[in-house]
Amino acid sequence: MVYVNFLGLFQEEHRIIERMIFSKRRARAAAELRRLNLSSLLVAEPANIRYLSGFTGSNGVLVLLAGRTGVRARLFTDGRYTAQAKTEAAGVSVTIAKRSVLTEACVWLAQQKGVESCGFDPTTATVATLESMKKAVPAGRRRSLFRPAHGVVPRLRELKDSYEIGAMREAAALGCQLYEHLLTVIEAGMTEQALAATLEYAARMAGAEGMSFETIVASGERSALPHGRATQAKLPRRGLVTLDFGVILNGYCSDMTRTVYLGSAASAEERRVYDAVLAAQMTAVEAVRPGVTTGDVDEAARSVLRSAGLEKAFSHSTGHGVGLEIHEGPRVGAGQKQLLEPGMIITIEPGAYLPGRFGVRIEDMVLVTNNGAEILTPSPKAWTQL
């Protein structure tokens, strides 16, 4: 009998797929470098390194060399990640640095033939970081080698590939399952922190790597706080509770918000505000499609609240991109001119906040498709009274 190691075959197939995914991403980055007349790129942000190589360690620098026809990549990290880098960094050469990874990366870069310029992201590099980079290269190249290159990798990350969309569907689906669980355990008298802890424990037990951000549970008057993180305040017998949370699954974040009502006999004003926010949220979702500006989506939500006399009660942007990080591009805010494109995943989260009284926010993750939008967090959002 011939024994076939199916698990081994599956793992090898998975590794091949991963190498292809990361190779395509690096090729896209190289094409952008050529467009910017840059021969290389220094990447120091963990999320960007993960996006281009799969490496998840906390200390690393990735260098891309963009040739005329191809791209080379080398990852610099320290001895703690020797085995991890070998396993995770798909198709990337790895150097275990014996000194600062940034210094070693810059020394190596300056030694490469044909490298005349190296882009770096000035929005994340500090003055001290740039000085360290310059000191690591020959004096004659300190002025000419490093050039600011704003958001090269973050712009690529705005358009999710099929692997990312699949991962984010799973993360969003887990978030929806957790919300359904919360509805079975939430009750007046329990503290906001206890409810948040219940959610986070269930998330971990379901396989989440962590929470996308500090869980928001804001009840009663505290629901008027847009970022009312959970406290020891007790959930009211009668009042609104805003639940804003997300999980990290396979490295990707989810994000959703629902506002529910505890008790009976909600006031007419509470229902009116809730209905207005829901209408604003649904109107904005309907506005999402390729070619529409993110500012137009924001205005779709804002116009509904304006008509309801709640424009001043909406104090933040309508949404943001989400992916490896909870806040990514594009920004869905007033006056923004960026066009939506298929593959973008954004949040739609209008709210209305009446200080000292109550607040409402409703949020979905939305995938921009070829001809419209798909809601990735389809949990019910009609008025829920518990």
Residue 205 pLDDT class (50, 70, 90 cuts)? very high
- Token digits of residue 115: 């490298």
Q: What is the DSSP letter of 311?
A: G
pLDDT at 9 over 90: no
pLDDT in tens, 217-244: 999 999 999 999 999 999 999 999 999 9
Whether 73 contacts 93, CB under 8 Å:
yes
Instruction: Set out the domains of the chain in order of their start, with CATH numbers.
Output: 6-156 (3.40.350.10), 162-375 (3.90.230.10)
How far is it, in rounded angstroms, from Cα 166 to Cα 241? 31
Mean pLDDT of the chain: 94
pLDDT value at residue 295 = 98
Q: Which residue has better confidence, 277 or 8?
A: 277
Short-list 259, 201, 208, CA closest to 383: 259
Whether 54 contacts 91, CB under 8 Å:
no
For the chain, report the end-to-end CA distance as a whole number of angstroms: 61
Q: Which residues neighbour 339 within 8 Å (Cβ) at sequence distance 6 or greater? A: 290, 291, 292, 293, 294
How far is it, in rounded angstroms, from Cα 117 to Cα 40? 6
Per the confidence metrics, is the pTM higher than 0.75?
yes
